[in-house]
Amino acid sequence: MEVTIKIYGDLCKKAGTDTIRLPIDENDTIDALLIRLGKRHPVLLEAILDPTTGELKPYFNILLNGHQIQRMGGIHTKLKHKDELAIFPPVGGG
**Closer Cβ to other proteins, 67 or 82, answer by number:** 67
Q: Is residue 72 a contact point for other proteins (CB under 8 A)?
A: no
Q: CB 66: neighbour CB atoms within 10 A?
A: 7
Residue 66 as a binder of other proteins (CB under 8 A): the answer is yes
Q: Which is nearer to other proteins, 22 or 72 (CB)?
A: 72
Strand pairing of 2-7 and 84-88?
A: parallel
- Check if the beta carbon of residue 48 is closer than 8 Å to that of residue 56: yes
Selected binder of other proteins within 65, 73, 81, 82 (CB under 8 A): 65
